[in-house]
Amino acid sequence: MRINYDLHDLQAFVAVAERASFRQAADDLFLSQSALSRRIEKLEEGLGVKLFERTTRRVQLTNVGQAFLLNVRTALDGLEDAVLGVADLAAHRTGTVTLACVPSAVWHFLPEVLKEFSERFPRIRVRVHDESAQDVLNLVLAGEADFGINFTGAEEAEIVFEPIFKERYVLAMRHDHRLAQRKSLNWKDLAGERFVSVAKSSGNRSVIDAALAGVEKHPAIFCEVNHVSGVLALVEAGMGVAAVPGLSVLPERPDSIVGVPLVNPAIHRTLGLISKRNHSMAPAARTLFDMLSKTLIKRPSSGRKGPKPPA
């Protein structure tokens, strides 16, 4: 059954019910009594029931009208909450922002910006998915993350990729390794080294393999693990050396692992903010995205203390 009424008709009904007077309700709503009566009649005709008993002396709800009043008040309260909720979201007072990023970004890029964001918008919840590069891309494509920080995605037609930082690969080794004091290293200098690497399924491995495709002499891999964090653990244990993104080697740990830039060829990866093309972000997500974009264009500081982050 289709009922022909609108929000103003419901508001008129509640006003009459609460005032028990058409005259007083009309004054509250800045309507003439005849206009108010037409709204109530329209509502009763649409519902097919009588909502008020009217006499010359008083207006009283019928039994059906009393039950209807409870439902209408609940509906109007819910509508008001919904409207206020949208206003809160637009004003950055409530809501959730979901961000997907490679783990090294959590360590190096996010803390300072997230701290500022939470101070400005303390009721906005931020959910961070620190995942592999492919998983980050998939989360953004699926709409499960508002945006991401990743070094893949630029080639995807559905993704907008905004570069924020160009990261150089280095050779990670123990501080007491014979090559640790070099300013840079050619790949051919590493031919005799025991080389630890991430697995072929890793995005980092794809970057390295593509860059070395034309290099005649380069080290043979003797051990593979799935994540850069595992690679660095093996390097620290003295099991070999590894080519890793520069951000994964913390400069405040020179007594443990050092990273020397690799050349001929030099290998880089570009980290960027990724978002789904033609997808409108919620206001809070857009604000955090813009804050990250402005902050991360320059190289981040690396003054954080603690254990090595994964990459």
Give tens-digit pLDDT for 250-279: 665 556 889 999 998 898 888 899 999 988
**Above 50 in pLDDT, residue 311?**
no
Helix (H) or strand (E) holding 287: helix 283-296
Give me the amino acid identity at 5: Y
Give tens-digit pLDDT for 46-102: 888 899 988 777 888 898 888 888 888 888 777 765 554 555 545 555 578 899 998
**Which among 291, 299, 278 has a CA at the least distance from the CA of 97?**
291
Q: Which residues contact 158 (CB under 8 A, 6 or more apart)?
A: 141, 276, 277
Specify whether domain 7-90 bears CATH 1.10.3720.10.
no
Residue 83 pLDDT: 58
Q: Which CATH superfamily is domain 95-163+271-296 in?
A: Periplasmic binding protein-like II (3.40.190.10)
**Which among 271, 256, 242 has a CA at the least distance from the CA of 167?**
271
What angle, rounded to 10 degrees, do the helices at 7-19 and 22-29 form?
Answer: 130
**Above 80 in pLDDT, residue 143?**
yes
d(CA 190, CA 241): 9
Strand partners, 173: 258
User: What is this structure's pTM?
Assistant: 0.61
Average predicted confidence (pLDDT) for the chain = 82
Expressed in percent and rounded to 5, the helix, strand and coil fractions of the chain are: 40, 25, 35
Rounded mean pLDDT, 156-169:
89
Q: Where are the domains of the chain?
A: 7-90, 95-163+271-296, 166-269
pLDDT band at 16 (very low <50, low <70, confident <90, very high): confident
CA distances from 261 to 189, 213, 231, 269 (A): 13, 19, 17, 13
250: DSSP letter: -
Specify whether domain 166-269 bears CATH 3.40.50.2300.
no
Contacts of residues 219-224 at CB distance under 8 Å and 24 or more positions apart, as own/partner, are 219/187, 219/190, 219/191, 219/192, 219/193, 219/194, 219/195, 220/195, 221/195, 221/196, 221/197, 222/194, 222/195, 222/196, 223/194, 223/195, 223/196, 223/197, 224/196, 224/197, 224/198, 224/199, 224/200
CB contact at 8 A, 25 and 36? yes
Query: Would 7-90 and 95-163+271-296 be classified into the same CATH topology?
Result: no
Tell me the HSE value of 59 on the side-chain side, using a 13 A CA sphere.
Answer: 19
pLDDT band at 170 (very low <50, low <70, confident <90, very high): very high
d(CA 87, CA 104): 35
**Which among 231, 259, 87 has a CA at the least distance from the CA of 170?**
259
**Above 90 in pLDDT, residue 214?**
no
